[in-house]
Amino acid sequence: MQTVLSGIRPTGNLHLGNYFGAVKNFVKMQENNNCYFFIADYHSLTTHPKPEDLQENVRKVLSEYIACGLDPEKSTIYIQSDMPQVAELYLLLGMNAYVGELERTTTFKEKVRKQPENVNAGLLTYAVLMAADILIHNAHKVPVGKDQEQHLEMTRKFAQRFNRIYEVDYFNIPEPYNFGEKLVKVPGLDGSGKMGKSEGNAISLIDEPKVIRKKVMKAVTDAGPAEQNSTKPEPVQNLFSLMELVSNKDTISYFNDKYNACEIRYGDLKKQLAEDIIVFTTPIRERILDIYNNSEYLNKIMKIGKEKAIESGSKTISEVRKIIGFKPF
């Protein structure tokens, strides 16, 4: 049986990008694999959350996960900071991670550019902690979105390096996974780039219908095609890509035909897209609210997840310590 792992930072509500990039695939995999899904609260410390917000964010994301179909009976669902073994593996892997390669990571370079006032060491070593998350359970497959591909590549590198230095075949070399297809990048509503929590271009699963309608109606488009059958510019293609995720085939081909005939009315397309998103998110939103209000259930899930995660993490750490040469006198 293969081990599958994925995670998410508790820094805002789950959005369509998180769902279609990672959570959906994970849910499909939990039937036939040994699955771990965790909330990356150590990682979220790079953004310096207030102590009173940290716990609340974790609770929110945990409710959202479960509402999306993660099943605590089938998967181990846990909070990263509940398994301190991951912090030890992060320390150990960090000894063989080089500053140059960490500085060259795209996400790090982007943070340096976007927030020069807060370039902390946690951001620099973000990929090492992520590698520790994955290797602590010796995962084979990691369902993630396209934006995490480079981090996964670094995890593979760190795992191979460890095996080579210590002349062992200990760590599996984990693969980013999307059922044999390319990793997904869900676009945002602002015309370019990916949907993201901090970009202000996202539709959250918890958004009320009126919020969804407002966001979609404000999405960036253009003046419309000047020639029949022309290639769609990025902002327009993005709306079609979102339709591919939530609308049925007939709707998509209707609007494609209209576009190709230069008869498209973006207002109509947006109205339809908003309604299709609402149909998709409404049952999830209702489940989130039910679960969020059930503290007893959430506490039980966290307790069971913590025990199972620690059992697996402790085994890995004691084996890694032995390989490295920490032995009692």
Host H or E run for residue 247: none
Alpha helix positions (H), the chain: 16-18, 24-29, 41-44, 51-67, 85-94, 99-103, 106-114, 121-124, 126-135, 149-165, 209-217, 234-246, 249-260, 266-292, 295-324
Among 29, 58, 79, 144, binds ligand TYM (CB under 6 A): 144
For residues 277 and 216, is the Cβ–Cβ distance under 8 A? yes
205 contacts ligand TYM (rule: CB under 6 A): no
Tokens of 130: 């992520």
Identify the active-site residue in 111, 141, 215, 270.
111
Among residues 72, 145, 225, 235, the one that binds ligand TYM under rule CB under 6 A = 145
Question: Which value, to the nearest 10 degrees, does the dihedral of the CA atoms of residues 137, 160, 129, 113 take?
Answer: -150
**Quick check: is 194 catalytic?**
yes
- Indicate which single residue of 29, 123, 130, 206 sits in contact with ligand TYM (rule: CB under 6 A): 130
The yes or no reply on residue 148 touching ligand TYM (CB under 6 A) is yes
Q: To the nearest whole angstrom, how small is the minimum distance from the Cβ of residue 217 to ligand TYM?
A: 20
How far apart are CB 98 and ligand TYM at their closest, in Å? 20
Q: Which of 3, 9, 140, 238 binds ligand TYM (CB under 6 A)?
A: 9
Q: Which residue type is seen at 156?
A: R
Please, which residues have CB within 8 angstroms of residue 310's CB and are 6 or more apart in sequence?
Answer: 82, 83, 85
CA of residue 300 relative to chain centroid, distance: 24
Catalytic residue among 141, 194, 215, 270: 194
User: Least distance in Å: CB of 321 to ligand TYM?
Assistant: 22
Residue among 12 and 209 whose Cβ is closer to ligand TYM: 12
Q: Which of 6, 57, 172, 281 binds ligand TYM (CB under 6 A)?
A: 6
Active-site hit among 74, 185, 197, 258: 197
The verdict on 313 binding ligand TYM (CB under 6 A) reads no
The binder of ligand TYM chosen from 29, 77, 102, 142 (CB under 6 A): 142
Smallest gap from residue 177 Cβ to ligand TYM (A): 10
Note if 300 is an active site residue.
Answer: no
| Count of C-beta atoms within a 10 Å radius of residue 284 | 16
Restricting to residues 10-49, name those near ligand TYM by CB under 6 A: 17-18, 21-22, 40, 43
**Catalytic residue flag (residue 210):** no
Angstrom distances, CA of residue 25 to CA of 37, 107, 179? 12, 23, 8
Residue closer to ligand TYM (CB basis): 101 or 257: 101
* Residue among 191, 194, 160, 189 at smallest CA distance from 174: 160
Q: Choose among 1, 2, 315: nearest CA to 140.
A: 2
C-beta of 43 vs 111, nearer to ligand TYM = 43
What is the distance between the alpha carbons of residues 47 and 33, in angstroms, rounded to a whole number? 33
Active-site annotation, residues:
111, 194, 197
Binding footprint of ligand TYM on the chain (CB under 6 A): 5-9, 17-18, 21-22, 40, 43, 130, 133-134, 142, 144-148, 184-186, 194-196
